[in-house]
Chains A and B, each alone.
Chain A
Amino acid sequence: MNQEVVKPEADKKEVGEVTTIYNEFETWTWTVNMGDKTIHAKRMPGFFRTFKDRAQLALWLPFFFLPYLRWNDKQAILFDIDHRQFHFFSLTVLPQDIWMLSLLLLVAAMTLFAVTSVASRVWCGYFCFQTAWTDWFTWIEEKIEGNPTARRKLDVAPWDFDKIKKKGLKHLSWALLALFTGISFSIWFVDAFDYWNMLIHFQLPMVGWVTLFAFFAGTYILAGLLREQTCIWLCPYARIQAVMNDSQTILPTYDYTRGEPRGKIRRGGEVVAPQGDCIDCFQCVQVCPTGVDIRNGQQLGCITCGLCIDACDSIMDKIEKPRGLIRYASLDELSGKPAKKMYQHPRTLVYIGIIVLALGGIVWGLTHLGSMTLKVMHERQPLYVSMSDGSIQNKYDFKLLNKTNKDFQVKVTAEGGIKDQVIIGAEHQPLIHHGRGTSFTIFVKAPGKHANKDTTPIQFRVESVEDPMVFAEYTSKFYAPKK
């Protein structure tokens, strides 16, 4: 093996004294739980515990209950897949404008990146559905089966009535929460009250049942059974987010210089060797929902939820040492380098720049949704027709999309084109249905003596008969024989 490889000196100096902490390869073997044991994390009160609880609820309670909000007798927020519409209060977005969704996803991704570059895996630690649901599932587990010690005992206990009762109740509660999760997901896409009605009458369409079952099973398995394994082995963000940390990123860190050498407090005994502040009480490991030892430094398994900080602080209070042996700190801070300012972090600025651009795009899109779109396709075969009176006729396919919420009639006019041209085909003012495409054919006939060029630009304008502000324009061409 490569044990003899000598690392270049420069390499070591670059990161400074912390090198050894973060060089997993030389100092220790990995201790990530690979799923061979169930992690029963202790729940300890503290600042980060409270923050996590509130953050989870703030983000995910709306997921459960927002779909029930009504607006003008319709569901306020509804991704109506059946009718290919997205309702957001009084705004309706049709599939043609769904490009804004990609910008929204870009904003979400870049926000994730920006936050990660500043304060590490904030999303993972406090907001992610995996974290949140796992936390709720283990909370249920604790209420039913007791504290971690009791749970470990119960796990190895023989199957008696008490164990069956507790385990059964737990799994039933999990299943109910999972089912409610599936339902709550579905009602973002189907009217919530209709959905419940169909559900209790067992009349959901097949796709409804499949979605419900997938989310039920997914929730149950991911949050109930796989838990931290999802973060460690399944989730791509774990990798993406981890590589976005640099020496300026603050994350829950064990203060190596202050804590080491660690050791138990010897009561009344004399100090045989100089001892750090860490008393090796393992509280930080016991509270960790992914079962990592933060004292090994930042690592893949750490979702930076800060629960170890709470645990360590409570111990430091007890042994009357200052708090913050484990704290949010950057590698720079830990190695005694001066902390850089925010604006000296170009990576974050780039992310923020992209976010601003994408948000700008969304704002532009929402303000330019328009109430109607028009596409005009010039007939290719034939490009033009010579009529019996010597005039030239062109044919155009008009495709209109009415984005308002009512049907209206339109009139068609044109600018440019040929002198004395006549627009034929819209005399009856076609009715444009809302929410779907309408198409009709328009002919433009112009005297041959004026049509001197192969192509002449012509700008069509379609506007509602009732409201001239509802209009759309499209520039096409008028074709004539080559002269």
Chain B
Amino acid sequence: MSDKHNAGDVPTTGHVWDDDLGDYINQPPKWWMLGLTASAIWCVVYFIYYPSIPLSNGGTWFKGVAGWTAINEMEADKSVVDEVRGKYEAKLKDMTPAAILADSELTEYVTRSGKVLFGDNCAACHGQNGVGTHDKQGLFAPILNDDDWLFGGKIDDIHTSIVGGRQGMMMAHKDMLSEAEIDTLANAVATGKPTSTPLFTDKGCVACHGADGKGIQAMGSANLTDSVWRFDGSVEGIKYTIKNGVNAGTPETRVAVMPAFQGAKLSDAEIKKLAVYVYKFGGGQADAPAAAQ
């Protein structure tokens, strides 16, 4: 209240400060009061409707008349997601991995949703997106996005590998071969031409790696002629592998073990999804045209 802007007849509280400052006792506007009252009523409604206050007898609380809980809300949201996924999951259940692969819509679904499964179950060894992981001996678990598959890269082979797991197997040869023989063999293998030395046949390498050195898929033996190495591909590394073998039971041996995932670890549907997911990394080998079903 100042001299200049006199509001007329509105009464003041009667207190005066600094000679001329008074305090009007205008009512707040009606709409404002209505708003205030409505807010207060709303508080009460909210309080009754939702869980609102802990009760004194420990661990319980007033639950609200609506029965709302955050968990219920989350479950409801989840059911929306499950509904979207449901139609795909229902289809997947009775299909073979090859049939899933033949269905572009399902493949799309699996490659989108398989990421989490792969991250939870596979990436620890095989790396995110199957890039492989390394330890001080070289590659610890195989790269999954190239086209080199010791146990087969067809969709059913991949599926079988996940179901039952895999174990590499190569004898330690340090007591069977001389240092010179190992050296000759390692050098031949390093150039990608293992058959160039007669030792390859004479010392029995062919039994596992095949007469042409390309490996035998049923045994999971390595293809020695291509440019992808399961273990260290240098001459020294190859010599180490020949000497100590793979899973040969000694502390020095190279290790190549993949656990079985069927049963407790993953459901059948999840394994199928993972097989397709891994296949789609880019290294999967096409079947003869899949039997449509």
Contacts and interface: CB of A to CB of B under 8 A. Distances in A.
A389 interface: yes
A382 B131 contact: yes
Contact of B282 (A381, A389, A395, A430): A395
Contacts of B108: 439-440
Contacts of B227: 386, 388-390, 448
Interface of A: 1, 379, 381-382, 385-390, 393, 395, 428, 430-431, 439-441, 443, 448
Contact of B280 (A381, A389, A428, A441): A441
Nearest to B128: A381
B29 to A, nearest CB: 10
B223 interface: yes
Contacts of B111: 441
A387 B280 contact: no
B147 interface: yes
B226 to A, nearest CB: 4
A123 B273 CA distance: 61
B26 interface: no
B184 interface: no
A390 B227 CA distance: 6
A381 B145 CA distance: 10
Contacts of A390: 226-227
Nearest to B5: A29
Nearest to A442: B282
A393 B147 CA distance: 10
B228 A387 contact: yes
A388 B228 contact: yes
Contacts of A441: 111, 280, 282
B148 interface: yes
Contacts of B223: 388
Given A1-B4, A443-B282, A388 B148 contact: yes
B143 interface: yes
B147 A388 contact: yes
A359 B150 CA distance: 62
B179 interface: no
A441 B280 CA distance: 9
B228 A386 contact: yes
B133 interface: no
Contacts of A431: 104
B3 interface: yes
Interface in B99-130: 104, 108, 111, 128-129
Given A387-B148, A388-B148, A430-B104, 18 more contacts: A1-B2, A381-B131, A382-B131, A382-B143, A385-B143, A385-B145, A385-B146, A385-B282, A386-B146, A387-B147, A387-B228, A388-B227, A388-B228, A389-B226, A393-B145, A428-B104, A440-B108, A443-B282
A1 B146 CA distance: 85
A86 B151 CA distance: 53
Contacts of A389: 147, 226-227
A386 B131 CA distance: 11
Nearest to B146: A385
Given A387-B148, A393-B282, A379 B129 contact: yes
Majority DSSP secondary structure for residues of B touching A: loop
28 contacts: A1-B2, A1-B3, A379-B129, A381-B128, A381-B129, A382-B131, A382-B145, A385-B283, A386-B146, A386-B228, A387-B147, A387-B148, A387-B228, A388-B146, A388-B147, A388-B223, A389-B147, A390-B226, A393-B145, A393-B146, A393-B282, A395-B281, A395-B282, A430-B104, A439-B108, A440-B108, A441-B280, A441-B282
A393 B143 CA distance: 13
A467 to B, nearest CB: 22
Contacts of A382: 129, 131, 143, 145
Interface string B139-173: 00001011110000000000000000000000000
B128 to A, nearest CB: 6
A395 B228 contact: no
Contacts of A439: 108
Contacts of A381: 128-129, 131
Contacts of B131: 381-382
B222 to A, nearest CB: 11
Nearest to B223: A388
Nearest to A428: B104
Contact of A387 (B2, B104, B129, B146): B146
> Which of the listed residues A388, A390, A395, A431 has the most CB atoms from chain B within 10 Å of its own CB?
A388
A443 B282 CA distance: 7
A402 B255 CA distance: 50
A380 B111 CA distance: 16
B150 to A, nearest CB: 11
A234 to B, nearest CB: 14
Contacts of A440: 108
Interface in B215-263: 223, 226-228
Nearest to B131: A382
A371 to B, nearest CB: 22
Contacts of B226: 388-390
Contacts of B143: 382, 385
A385 B2 CA distance: 82
A246 B258 CA distance: 81
Contacts of B282: 385, 393, 395, 441, 443
A216 B266 CA distance: 56
B142 to A, nearest CB: 12
Nearest to A439: B108
A393 B281 CA distance: 11
Nearest to B143: A385
Contacts of B129: 379, 381-382
Nearest to B130: A382
A339 B111 CA distance: 72
A441 B276 CA distance: 14
Contacts of B283: 385, 387
A12 to B, nearest CB: 22
Contacts of A430: 104
A314 to B, nearest CB: 36
Nearest to A390: B227
Contacts of A395: 145, 281-282
A112 B280 CA distance: 56
Contacts of B147: 387-389, 393
A446 to B, nearest CB: 13
A431 to B, nearest CB: 8
